[in-house]
Chains A and B, each alone.
Chain A
Amino acid sequence: MTLQGIFETARSGLNSTKAGIAVAGNNISNANTENYSRQRVILETKDPQLNRSGGGFIGAGNQISGIKRLNNNYIEKQINESYKKFSNHEEKSVFLKQIEDVFNEMEDGDGLSDLMSRFFNEFRKLSLEPNNLALRQSLQEAGQSVIDYFFRTNQILTQIVQNLDKKIEGYVQNINELVSNIINLNKEIFRLEQSGNGDPNDLIDKRDLAIKKLGSFFDISLHPDKSGMVEVDLNGAGLLLSSSSKNEELKFSRGAGDLYLNGHNESVSSLIQGGKLGAIFEFRNKILPEIFEKLDNLAFNLSHYVNEIHQKGVALNGQRGICFFEPLLKKDKASQNINLSHMVLSDLQFISAALDENSPGDNRVALALSNLQNKKLMGDERFTLDEWYHSILSDIATMVSKNESALHQENDMMIQFEKIRNQISGVSIDEETAYLMQLQHSFDASAKVMQFADEVLGTVLQIKR
């Protein structure tokens, strides 16, 4: 062991302490960075040197073997999963609440339930005085307001679909940005790892965050490869990005509501599940069409059965076979197309309340029409019109309340996982400060060793004088 060797040993101490201080400093400054994992310097002893004066090996100080990211892969996966579910419920919550508002009748008002009640009550009133024109007028108006409601609801729901499409476009843009971001990080991580200086921890954290965000949009599967790059797979539909760095862009076509991977002709919409985008697609392509269908059924059956009876009746002017509603040819879009027949609109006399001709007091048709309210006309004769409409409301309400409780639960889970992650990877300022103090002392001590060696060397040099 030479004197220079002692200098060397002290210097290695100073170096590693300096690195430690830098890492602790980095930790402190990133204490609030999203998804940051705290880092530690891993030290090891240098290879010992043989003491020439005999007596064996003497240690030669320390060296940095690497800088490690303290992080648990399993928890990260859990968080990603939980975050995806949370995002899904959160996104759904927005739309479901919107729909619930459209159909909210809890505050007394002019919901369809009330309007239909009024409509049938008008027939009851007409049955008291079938030849009264004022009653006919108010029946016509009640019918018109039912139609207006269908029309308005239809418009609002269509508007919602349009807003959804805009939102999907926005999300697709986000996704494409995230994908190209991950590709860049992949390349950078690959390059740095090839240099053989260990893992670029901060970049890996960044990529983890980008993947977590990407995963919040839909189900993806990850395939890490040996070179340190990650391939991302869209649920079997094809690679969103691969290690060969080929960038697949998502494209959204409005109207049909289909999503395409660049260069492929097949829609991947049906493969989009989970996450925010999954929520929107489920809502747009499953929940909303079901509501539309039920509304259409309601409008169709209402007009069909009212017409069926009304046609048997005879109008004040003796004419028979008049439709109350304009006859609908198909159930599809019935809630949009339902309308009063032009005859009833043009002349109140055409409202047929009687069964016999020249019988102004005959109210049998009006009675039969008012009785439709109690008839099981919907869903294979299992529900009345009211019950059918209420079942739409009940479906929506149940979906909202289920989704809300799932949202709360997932939120709690996420907080719990974040807590565990923080336990492992989070930065504690106190801890880092204590570590800094420890490093400060080591730095002082190593410096002292160097000073000591310097003095010893001075003594040696003075021998010559």
Chain B
Amino acid sequence: MLRVTENMNYDLLRDNISKSRERLGNLQRQESTMKKLKQPSDNPTAAIEILELRNEKKRNEQYDLNNYLVEMSLQNLDFLLEDLSSTVMRLKEISLNQSNSMNFSSDLRANMADEVDQLFGSAVAIVNRRFGNRYLMSGYKVETPCVNSNGDYQGDSGQVMIEVSKDVFIPINIPGSSVFNLQSMDQNDLKTVNLFEEIKKLKQALLDGDCDKVRGQLVKFDQLYSKIISVRAQVGSRVQVLHQISQSMDRQRISNAELNSQLEDVDLAQVLSDLNREEVIFKNALASSNKLVQPTLLDFLK
């Protein structure tokens, strides 16, 4: 025969009520915070995953900022190159026109030489453009203008890389030397062609009225023009890469948010129904305690 003593009943009652209270409290907290986890020990693996996602989010916020900055900078660079290319285009036109001595007078050539001089000034102004307070074409020497008034390059060959996504770096500048300097084969000799030098030579040729030399300059400007165009294409492809990256980051952001929500957020319907059920259980536990503490034999001994 199983002996049942009063203390057993009371112990059971105490245990049931306190367990039910604990569950109720936990559900209530979930409902009010809308979070499944209060402390990491509620689910250690999920907790660490949440922290890692959070770190990634922080990092991505910075990458977004970088992305924006890189895009702005590349856009500016593109405008700069566009303007530079039309300047060179105009120089090409002038050299083409003036390569035939039959058509023009020396007055006109002097005018043209004047225009070339102007173009020299504007080319200097174009390559010395800034984005914010940084010179775009000076390499790492962002505080120094790209060329001086004489057209001498003052920057270095540094490419400023910016991280736009984890371990993906995009250069935001192009050192001027790689835009307006190019190596060219001239009678089996490797010679450096420099935009500003060539402009100066064209001006001199015009002033001298040396048609052959002017014609010779046309070839140089042609080469320089295609160089600038190819650099522009390079900038364009950087922008494209940037767009692809920011798209993939957008996708990642969404999937991370989903994962995070799955790990961290409560299913409200589930919690509410659990809460109701637990409340019923708790009330029943209290109500049944009345039955558990039954009258004893003593009540009948009168």
Residues of A within 8 A of B (CB): 31-32, 97, 100-101, 103-106, 108, 113-114, 117-118, 120-121, 124-125, 127-129, 131, 354, 356, 358-364, 367, 370-371, 373-374, 386, 390, 393-394, 396-398, 400-401, 404, 415, 418-419, 422-424, 426-431, 433-434, 437
Contact = CB atoms under 8 A, between A and B. Distances in A.
Interface in B155-172: 156, 158, 160-163, 166-167, 169
Nearest to B3: A423
B185 interface: no
A437 B302 CA distance: 12
Nearest to B50: A106
Given A393-B51, A397-B47, A362 B158 contact: yes
A118 B43 CA distance: 26
A105 B69 CA distance: 31
Nearest to B57: A117
Interface in B113-139: 132, 134, 138-139
Given A32-B7, A121-B58, A121-B59, A356 B156 contact: yes
B143 interface: yes
Nearest to B135: A361
A418 B11 contact: yes
B47 A423 contact: no
B5 A356 contact: no
A212 to B, nearest CB: 17
Contacts of B162: 127-128, 363
A370 B163 contact: yes
B297 interface: yes
Given A106-B37, A106-B47, A370-B163, A361 B7 contact: no
Contacts of A400: 39-41
B169 to A, nearest CB: 7
A422 B8 contact: yes
A422 to B, nearest CB: 5
B179 interface: no
Nearest to A104: B39
A428 B4 contact: yes
Interface residues of B, number: 56
The 9 closest A-B pairs by CB, nearest first: A361-B142, A359-B140, A397-B40, A400-B41, A397-B44, A426-B5, A362-B140, A401-B41, A428-B5
B51 A124 contact: no
A292 to B, nearest CB: 19
B296 A429 contact: yes
B140 A354 contact: yes
Given A100-B41, A127-B163, A362-B140, A423 B2 contact: yes
Contacts of B4: 423, 428
B5 A386 contact: no
Nearest to A113: B51
19 contacts: A32-B7, A104-B39, A105-B51, A117-B55, A117-B58, A356-B158, A360-B143, A361-B139, A364-B161, A386-B52, A393-B51, A396-B40, A396-B41, A397-B47, A401-B42, A428-B6, A429-B296, A431-B3, A437-B301
Contacts of B158: 356, 359, 361-362
Contacts, number: 164
A106 B38 contact: yes
B241 interface: no
Interface string B29-56: 0000001011111111101101110110
Interface in B9-23: 11-12, 15
A27 B301 CA distance: 19
Contacts of A129: 132, 134
B298 interface: yes
Most buried by B among A106, A121, A370, A373: A106
Nearest to B8: A422
B62 interface: yes
B141 interface: yes
B193 to A, nearest CB: 26
Contacts of A429: 6, 296-298
B87 interface: no
A430 B66 contact: no
Nearest to A399: B41
A128 B66 contact: yes
Contacts of B5: 422-423, 426-428
A317 B94 CA distance: 47
Contacts of B161: 363-364, 367
A249 B7 CA distance: 37
A131 B35 CA distance: 43
A131 B51 contact: no
A389 to B, nearest CB: 9
A261 B284 CA distance: 53
Contacts of B48: 390, 393-394, 397
Contacts of B173: 361
Contact of A359 (B52, B59, B141, B296): B141
Contacts of A431: 3
Contacts of A396: 40-41
Contacts of B140: 354, 356, 359-362
B293 to A, nearest CB: 12
A433 B142 contact: no
Contacts of B163: 124, 127, 367, 370-371
Contacts of B37: 106
